[in-house]
Amino acid sequence: MAVKGTDLVKLMPKRQGCKDCGFPTCFAFAMKLATGGAEVSACVYLSEEVRAQIEELLAPPIRPITIGQGAKALAIGDEEVMYRHEKTFFHQPGIGCLISDTEDAKEQERKIKALKEMQFIWIGRTLKADVAVVQSASGDQGKFSALVKKVVEMGDGIPMVLMADTIDLLLAGLEACGKDKRPLLYAITERNIDEAINKLAGLDVPVAVKADGLEKVSVLTEKLKEAGLQDLVLDPGSRKVWEAVRDQIFIRRAALKQGFKPLGYPTITFPCQMTGDPREELAVAAALLTRYAGIICLSDLREDVLFPLTVLRLNIYTDPRVPMAVEAKVYEINQPTDTSPVLITTNFALTYFSVANEIEGTRVPAYLVIQDTEGLSVLTSWSTGKFSGETAALFIKKTGIEGKTKSRKIVIPGLLARIKGELEDEMPGWEVIVGPREASGISSFLPELAGKC
């Protein structure tokens, strides 16, 4: 529910023609305000009260929250749509690992190390977990503080969630961590809210709110907001998978479609508390990731859980408005030698994946030249002039592939049979071969070609 300029005009001081804001009229200013093209402070004639009212109207429906500080800080919230095809999802959820002060030191250190070091390279990106969820399970202040300190020392700046049952424990943890590290304090509940307001107001750290159900959560967030605590993260308490998914959907709908401010915050979820089975934990985490979770807390970091989950996160948070592309270069598949053939296609990620996979499946060593077509598929890149005999020849020469293989056979996509002549003209000495129209044809095509080489 984006605010309209016409609603803002009604709040303007109507000093016709003053132009002090830099716009010709209040109407023009209001219109710019609504679309984010102007700052409310540009009008100096607004009362404090009206300015606050306008700021509230202009605030994003889901408040952006930053946890941690520095290069690894985690930014969540500030989402604009229910479904990624409506625009895109902007802020990837944090994936966290629970570390408890009742675990033995070795186990704690193993988890901290995994948070730091477990990573996967995927299409040139590094995929990792990004939050340490440090839990006081013992209730002992000394143990909790010691664990927090350990995570700070060993964690290499990883953002933290401090999790404890009492406000005093949380404050002890905060002191051990350092307020400047901006950990998320988990959690304010119905039981401790008054104490929390007394002790946490003015500290300027994000806090999580936990209650049993959305109604109770929203009562708490309203109260906290009045007390000046606004950097909030929500936990509606549901610990069964489809109820948890429902709550995520309701929170986002309430924020985006109802404009219901008390639920206009990102969320934290706990697959680690919903099952004891790692495979099921992954399934729950995947469902919550697809449906809006802001932080996903896992019981441990296992490669076979973290890898697929971080790939899913990358996929779901890919901007559907931008075609997904892979790096333009020569990919060496099945250890090609100086006699292996060359294939060329576009850098649309799906094209690359299917072609590379099929080549790999044939076990035939080959060079796959991936040309930059700005992520467009074969036919689209041809029709927009990004993939022609001329551009292909230029790129092939640039890659230096001629020095890598003595083979002078180059395979082009079957859909582009029409550029064969053009490419032959541009690349004397090369035999241009029209490949299959679909990647699936490579499995029989390539072994046959290799047989002739």
Residues of this chain that interact with other proteins (CB under 8 A) are 83-85, 122, 214-215, 218, 222, 241-243, 245-246, 249-250, 253-254, 257-258, 260-263, 279-280, 282-283, 286-287, 290-291, 303-305, 307-309, 311-312, 315-316, 318, 320, 324, 349-350, 353-354, 357, 360-361, 443-444
CB-nearer residue toward other proteins: 107 or 280: 280
Tokens of 399: 């890659």
CB-nearer residue toward other proteins: 313 or 386: 313
Minimum Å gap between C-beta 212 and other proteins is 13
Minimum Å gap between C-beta 333 and other proteins is 11
CB-nearer residue toward other proteins: 243 or 374: 243
Q: Are strands 119-122 and 330-333 parallel, antiparallel or unpaired?
A: unpaired
DSSP 399-417: HTHHHH----EEEE-GGGG
CB-nearer residue toward other proteins: 221 or 407: 221
Minimum Å gap between C-beta 54 and other proteins is 19
CB-nearer residue toward other proteins: 140 or 360: 360
- The helix/strand/coil state of 99 is strand
How far apart CA 37 and CA 421 sit, in angstroms, is 52
Minimum Å gap between C-beta 282 and other proteins is 6
Minimum Å gap between C-beta 258 and other proteins is 5
Helix axes 278-290, 241-256, angle to 10 degrees: 20
Minimum Å gap between C-beta 357 and other proteins is 6
Q: Are strands 184-188 and 431-434 parallel, antiparallel or unpaired?
A: unpaired
| Sequence-ordered list of residues with C-beta below 8 angstroms from that of 175, at least 6 positions apart, any chain | 145
| Sequence-ordered list of residues with C-beta below 8 angstroms from that of 84, at least 6 positions apart, any chain | 316, 317, 320
Which parts of 272-363 fold into alpha helices (H)? 278-290, 303-316, 349-362
CB-nearer residue toward other proteins: 66 or 318: 318
Tokens of 409: 């056979």
